[in-house]
Amino acid sequence: MAPRRKKIYEGKAKILYEGPEPGTLVQYFKDDATAFNAQKKATIEGKGVLNNRLSEFFMQGLTNVGIPNHFIRRLNMREQLIRQVEIVPLEVIVRNFAAGSIAKRLGLEEGTALPRPIVEYSYKNDALGDPLVPEEYIIAFGWANQQDLDDIISLALRVNDFLAGVFYGVGIKLVDFKIEIGRVWDGDFMRLIVADEISPDSCRLWDAKTGAHLDKDVFRRDLGSLTDAYTEVARRLGVLPTNSTNMKPTLIN
């Protein structure tokens, strides 16, 4: 066994380890799923393997169209090398159709097309249940300044255009998603890049024809097998894990 690396941070679905070079981290995808601020928990075999692959696919796609992000390369079935960033403590949510909390808050029927993509922010704080916050709070408390927010909105909308197109090409409607943003420094110059992960854990994905849920709502709402839903997304995108000893053969076919 290789000596255990230094753990930098452990979240609900991922672990960050010290990377091989300064300024890098290893991001490990666990099989753990949580919902409703971890009131609901389960281990879903194979989820980490699928999300590692899917996040690689989306981040690499962002790189290909010039959208800066933390992904460097995938290391193995569950790990990828990423740039170390300072995470902006916000969940940046983009919505194309009403679902989840906005549907509830505004009394909209799920699936209602929104007049334009809506970008909103939650303050990343588990103890408070990630509350929705206005820009006014973000600036007043110094989590980001106005220039940062302009850049964050621009990044979020570019990611939305990219993802919505990729998904629609495989018969999936991108209802909404969440990204996180990190700061990196080149000398004194600070840049904002897409960080964390992009996977069916952090998106709402509906089959364009049937409306079937192909995302974490399957787990949140007890709609069936989460692994089957994520495998279907991976299969349509042509992103299925190759054979390996640490995964079940059911994921390969």
Residue numbers of the site for ligand TMP (CB under 6 A)? 91, 93, 99-102, 130, 176-178, 202-204
In this complex, which beta carbon is closest to ligand TMP, that of residue 93 or of residue 251? Answer: 93
In this complex, which beta carbon is closest to ligand TMP, that of residue 175 or of residue 193? Answer: 175
What is d(CA 15, CA 82) in angstroms, rounded to the nearest whole number?
Answer: 12
Q: CB of 197: closest distance to ligand TMP in angstroms?
A: 9
Q: CB of 102: closest distance to ligand TMP in angstroms?
A: 6
Tell me the residue number closest to ligand TMP, measured at CB. Answer: 100
In this complex, which beta carbon is closest to ligand TMP, that of residue 57 or of residue 219? Answer: 219
What is d(CA 196, CA 18) in angstroms, rounded to the nearest whole number?
Answer: 15
What is d(CA 182, CA 192) in angstroms, rounded to the nearest whole number?
Answer: 6
Q: Length of the chain, please?
A: 253
Question: Which has the closest alpha carbon to 199: 3, 57, 68?
Answer: 57
CA contacts within 13 A on the Cβ side of 105? 7
Supply 36's token pair. 């409703």
Q: CB of 201: closest distance to ligand TMP in angstroms?
A: 6
| Alpha helices, H only, the chain | 47-64, 100-106, 135-140, 146-168, 217-220, 226-237
Q: CB of 66: closest distance to ligand TMP in angstroms?
A: 24
Q: CB of 104: closest distance to ligand TMP in angstroms?
A: 8
Beta carbons within 8 Å of 148's beta carbon, 6+ residues apart: 88, 192
Q: CB of 130: closest distance to ligand TMP in angstroms?
A: 5
In this complex, which beta carbon is closest to ligand TMP, that of residue 203 or of residue 251? Answer: 203
Terminal alpha carbon distance of the chain: 30
What is d(CA 176, CA 197) in angstroms, rounded to the nearest whole number?
Answer: 15
CA angle 157, 73, 79 (to 5 degrees): 100
Q: CB of 124: closest distance to ligand TMP in angstroms?
A: 9
In this complex, which beta carbon is closest to ligand TMP, that of residue 63 or of residue 101? Answer: 101
In this complex, which beta carbon is closest to ligand TMP, that of residue 215 or of residue 232? Answer: 215
Where do we find the tokens 């097309």?
113
In this complex, which beta carbon is closest to ligand TMP, that of residue 74 or of residue 178? Answer: 178
